[in-house]
Amino acid sequence: MSALGAIIARDIRLAFRAGGGAAQGVTFFALTGVLFALAVGPDIALISKIAAPVLWTGALLATQISLDQIWRADREDGSLDVLVETSDMLALTALAKAFAHWVATALPLIIATPILGLMLNLPVEAYAPLAISLAIGTPGLSLIGCIAGALVVSLPRAHLLIAIIVSPLYVPILIFGSGAAMSGAGAPQYGANLMLLGATVLFAAILSPLASAAALRSNLD
């Protein structure tokens, strides 16, 4: 387990040092919110109504921009070949990489959400449901992105291809996550959306390590 901890710590350190994790993701997240607000115009009531799905969409898009880096650094320095050849638990390694990506990319977005919610006039009672839905749903984004990154790790500059792969797979998470955030904690749909969101992420947590390991072995054969 110490080896997995070292992988997680290394990936988080590299992400924050390079600015490609937290800084770039939060900046993109903020710009997405600002652009949506400008596009809607001065209708404060409408902005407040769509704030939760806008923030969910922004978090999803901000997560996508760094998916290519989940395996890219290991591929470039040669350590990926060592991991694939020597690791008896490559699936656990993939799970650790997905967790590190979530900590470096999605967690800062969740922390920044209250500030952007204030900017978009998000109702006070909607902050907690939004934060909870993001905390439950965003790990699924990193898990699915880990599979896509493994599939295209041998291809140069595959950002667009990764986006094409993950976008359809992200739809259920976006629907259930934004649905929970919009319905509010007291609504009947809130619990149902959260349970469906959790089930989707749990399925991704089971599938992602196995699929990522298989994709890496296939690419490096």
* Number of compact structural domains in the chain: 1
Q: Is the predicted pLDDT of residue 134 greater than 60, yes or no?
A: yes
Structure tokens that stand for 63 in this block: 């997560």
Q: What backbone torsions phi and psi does residue 185 show, to the nearest 5 degrees? A: -65, -25
Q: Is the predicted pLDDT of residue 3 greater than 90, yes or no?
A: no
Task: List Cα–Cα distances, 98 to 28, 35, 65, 87, 176, in angstroms.
Answer: 20, 29, 14, 17, 21
Predicted local confidence at residue 98, as pLDDT: 93
Q: How far apart are CA 53 and CA 30, in angstroms?
A: 14
Q: How confident is the model at residue 140 (pLDDT cuts 50, 70, 90)?
A: very high
Which residue range(s) make up the domain with 137? 2-220
Look up tokens 């656990």; give the residue. 92
Give 193-199's long-range contacts (Cβ < 8 A, gap of 24+).
193/133, 194/132, 194/133, 194/136, 196/172, 197/133, 197/136, 197/137, 197/140, 197/173, 198/136
Structure tokens that stand for 156 in this block: 């140069």
- Which of 86, 136, 85 has its CA nearest to residue 107? 136
Q: How far apart are CA 43 and CA 71, in angstroms?
A: 43
Q: What percent of the chain has pLDDT over 70?
A: 94
pLDDT average, residue stretch 6-14: 82
Predicted local confidence at residue 22, as pLDDT: 67
pLDDT average, residue stretch 198-211: 94
Q: Is the predicted pLDDT of residue 142 greater than 90, yes or no?
A: yes
Q: How far apart are CA 54 and CA 154, in angstroms?
A: 34
Q: Find the length of the chain.
A: 221
> What is the tens place of the pLDDT at every residue in 20-45?
556 777 888 888 888 888 888 777 88
- H helical segments located in the chain: 2-18, 22-40, 44-64, 69-77, 79-86, 90-101, 107-119, 127-151, 159-183, 188-220
Predicted local confidence at residue 73, as pLDDT: 78
Q: Is the predicted pLDDT of residue 19 greater than 60, yes or no?
A: no
Q: What is the pTM of this model?
A: 0.89
DSSP letter (8 states) at residue 104: I
Q: How far apart are CA 192 and CA 203, in angstroms?
A: 17
Q: How confident is the model at residue 200 (pLDDT cuts 50, 70, 90)?
A: very high
Predicted local confidence at residue 148, as pLDDT: 92
